A and B are shown apart, each in its own frame.
Chain A
Amino acid sequence: MSHRMQAWLLAAPATLLVFVFLGLPVLSTLAMTFADPKGPLASYAAFFNSGFRMTVLWRTMEVALTTTILSVGIGFVVAWVVARAPSRLKSLLIIAAVFPLLTGVVVRAFAWLVILGKNGILNSFLLWIGAITEPLSMLYTQGSVIVAMVYLFVPLMILTLVGVLEGIPQDLTDAAASLGATPAAAFRQVVLPMAVPGLIVGSVLVFTGSFTSYATPQLLGGERQMMMGTFLYQRAMVTFDWLGASTIAAVMVVVTLATVLLMSRLARKLNPVAG
């Protein structure tokens, strides 16, 4: 048996699983969007002409973008501190970041229900210290969704960026210092440009993750703060409008793939080690 045959035989089961159970169903969903009896592009026309659907799309974009920016900002500062911490403390901090990351989304969203709810601990605390007299309604707002999303993605960002920052050899910052660069100049001229590809990778993960999330907007945003994920579910399983749901799915796939492709191109262009 030739090597090529052996190789294909070994790779075949996994390849088939992806093609048959991911490729075909997803393609059929995408194909369905063009099978609207009113015309091939009618489902898209309906989507982009509907004020409500566009509101959901823009809201999702806005939440995802805000989440990304906040996660990058918080994650970069924390990763910087963690990467420079003495090794014992560093392992401890990494454990502290991994723990929430490995805890499920439902549990993590639930925590914010307990904190932000009408009878939640934050309201209870504010009432107790007398800062407010009536409980605030903090749930089911864009703010509550964003807080929970940032909470979801900051650990991921920290871990990604610690890896990136640790990958920058200390010799380089030492070299910059020996050439007269102040710590701030070395950060701006050496560390930051070298961290850019990692920042982009992290941002893509957070953006696509929050753009397509379901559990968090469902629990903390509810009907009032419908996002693409919850909207897709509602169309598919509540109103049984599979054509509409497929169109939402198609828009999500396009946005996700476009983000990944554009950003990985940008990352390659800004790759410091490019030739």
Chain B
Amino acid sequence: MKRKTHPALIAFTVLTFFFLLGPLVVILGSALSDTPFLTFPPQGLTLHWFQNIFEISAFTRTMGTSFMLAVGGTALSMLIGIPAAYALARYRVELPSFLGNVFVLPILIPEIVLGFSLMKSLASGLGTPIMATLLVGHALLVLPYCVRVVGASLNSFDFSIEEAAVSLGCPRWRAFFTVVLPNIRAGIIAGFILAFITSLNDVSISIFLTGPGVSTLPIQLLAHMEQFFDPTIAAVSVLLMGVTVAVMAVVERTLGLTFLTK
């Protein structure tokens, strides 16, 4: 009833959102425009560029690689991240306090330094297969998201529920699966999704670990963009934005998007 906002601030905010969303609309425009360069005023519309995606094998191949890598890296990270988050939340006294920070290290160390170091020590130094090195790199990249988001829901989890299950005769391991996991499901879904999208969009680590044989979609796009301007890139970008929309819909349904401001 009372709080009024100055019109100048509102105007500034409207301009900012125009700045944030306008470029994405421009991409959509180029993907649909029948001229190779998006011109003003726009010319005719076509779906040709979307069709073209599937005729360029580099795109379809790397799309598959990126998807597998994002799912695999996130799954691996979750598999080891959930127990770690559980241990941090459940055994506060038994574990040293610095351990929580260890899992945040991948955020603290510049990604590009991590990418370079993995290439130098693993791929080049030990000759590990590219795909395995990528998988490890992506698992590391997303580990902080897994541990922190799952950890956040574990911190609001009432462990006396688990104790109640155990007191009713349920073994500890089964109590974890039947009582703890269902109650932190939202955190796991959110963590998985944030991790997935982070991995899917990653450039700084993958750039060092890809080559002619194996590449990821963002790296392929990057290489393509540097060489020639092709609206097919815009079409791929639109597909990637579609993935973002799908992800946001899932987050909205599980947690509500306001979760992201916390």
B is a partner of A? yes
Question: Which residues of A are in contact with B by a Cβ distance under 8 Å?
Answer: 3-4, 6-8, 10-11, 13-15, 17-19, 21-26, 28-29, 32, 74, 77-78, 80-82, 84-85, 91, 93-100, 102-108, 110-115, 117, 119-121, 124-125, 128, 151, 154-155, 159-160, 162-163, 166, 208, 211-215, 218-219, 229, 232-233, 236-237, 242, 245-246, 249, 252-253, 256-257, 260
Assess whether B197 is in contact with A256, with CB atoms less than 8 Å apart.
no
Are A7 and B90 in touch, CB under 8 angstroms? Answer: yes
Q: Given contacts A10-B87, A91-B257, A246-B120, could you give 12 more A-B pairs where the C-beta distance is less than 8 Å?
A: A3-B91, A10-B83, A21-B140, A23-B105, A77-B13, A81-B13, A94-B257, A106-B237, A121-B39, A215-B203, A218-B226, A219-B222
Which of A28, A81, A100, A212 is the one whose CB lies under 8 Å from B121? A28
Q: Which residues of the other chain, B, contact A4 by a CB distance below 8 angstroms?
A: 91, 94-95
Chain A residues whose C-beta falls within 8 Å of the C-beta of B90 in the assembled complex: 7
Complex CA gap A77/B13 in Å reads 7
Name the contact of B113 in the complex, choosing from A15, A26, A78, A125 (C-beta under 8 A): A26
Contacts A7-B94, A252-B110 hold; do A91 and B27 have CB atoms under 8 A apart? no
Task: Find residues 203-236 in chain B having any chain A CB closer than 8 Å to their own CB.
Answer: 203-204, 207-208, 218, 221-222, 225-226, 229, 233-234
Q: Which residues of chain B come closer than 8 Å to A17, judged between CB atoms?
A: 80, 136, 139-140, 143
Chain B residues within CB distance 8 Å of chain A: 3, 5, 9-10, 12-13, 16-17, 19-21, 23-24, 26-27, 29-30, 37-41, 79-81, 83-84, 86-88, 90-91, 94-95, 99, 102-103, 105-106, 108-114, 116-122, 136-137, 139-140, 143, 147, 197, 200-201, 203-204, 207-208, 218, 221-222, 225-226, 229, 233-234, 237, 240-241, 244-245, 247-248, 252, 257-258, 260-262
Q: Write out the residue numbers on chain A whose beta carbons fall within 8 Å of the beta carbon of B26.
A: 111, 114-115, 121
Chain B binding surface, main DSSP class: helix
Q: Which of B102, B200, B245 has the most CB of A within 10 A?
A: B102
A80's nearest neighbour on chain B, judged by CB, is: B9
Residues of B within 8 Å of A18, CB to CB, are 102-103, 105-106, 140, 143
Give the CA-CA distance A254 to B111 in the complex, in Å.
14
CB of B7, distance to nearest CB on chain A (Å): 11
Pick the residue among A25, A78, A97, A214 that contacts B117 (CB under 8 A): A25
Q: For the complex, what is the distance from the CA of A218 to the CA of B103, rounded to whole Å?
A: 29
